[in-house]
Amino acid sequence: MKKETVVQIRDLTIGYNQRTVLKDLNFSVKAGEIFVIMGGSGCGKSSLLKNIIGLYKPFDGDILLHGQSIVKANLKEKNKLMRSFGVTYQDGALFGTLTIGENILLLLDEYTTLSYKEKEKIVMEKLSQVGLAEFSNYMPHEISGGMKKRAGLARAMALNPKLLFFDEPSAGLDPISSAELDRLILKMGKKTGATIVIVTHELDSIFAIADNVIVLDKEKKGIVAMGNPYDLQKHCKNKWVKRFLDRDGLTRKI
Partner 1 sequence: MSNSQKKDKSIMKEEHRRVKNFLLHIGDFGCNFGKDCVNTLSFVGEVFIALIYAVFHPRKVRWRETFYYMDSCGSDALPIVVVVGFLLGLVLALQGAIQLTHLGAQDMVINLVVLALVKELGPIMIAVVATGRAGSAFAAEIGTMKVTEEVDAMVTMGFSPVRFLVIPKVIALMIVLPLLTIFGDIAGIVGGMFVTYFKLGISIPETFHKILELITFSAYMQGFLKSIVFALLIAGVGCMRGFEASGDAQSVGRSTTSAVVSGIFLIAIANTIITIFFTI
Residue 169's nearest CA partner among 88, 52, 65, 49 is: 88
Alpha helices in the chain (DSSP H): 45-52, 75-82, 100-111, 116-129, 145-156, 175-192, 203-209, 229-235, 239-245
Query: What track of x and - describes contact with partner 1 for positions 190 through 209 (by CB under 8 A)?
Result: --------------------
Cα separation, 227 vs 232, whole angstroms: 7
Nearer to partner 1, 95 or 116 (CB): 95
CB 28 within 8 A of CB 9: yes
Q: Are strands 60-65 and 34-39 parallel, antiparallel or unpaired?
A: unpaired
Q: Taking CB under 8 A as the rule, does residue 166 contact partner 1?
A: no
Site stretch for partner 1 (CB under 8 A), options 24-32, 105-113, 175-183, 207-215? 105-113
Residue 227's nearest CA partner among 242, 244, 210 is: 210
Site stretch for partner 1 (CB under 8 A), options 106-114, 116-124, 179-187, 240-248? 106-114
Question: Least CB distance from residue 193 to partner 1, whole Å?
Answer: 21
Q: Taking CB under 8 A as the rule, does residue 154 contact partner 1?
A: no
Question: Least CB distance from residue 144 to partner 1, whole Å?
Answer: 16
Q: Taking CB under 8 A as the rule, does residue 53 contact partner 1?
A: yes
| Amino acid occupying residue 217 | D
Q: Which residues bind partner 1 (CB under 8 A)?
A: 50, 53-55, 79-80, 82-83, 85, 87, 89-91, 93-97, 106-107, 110-111
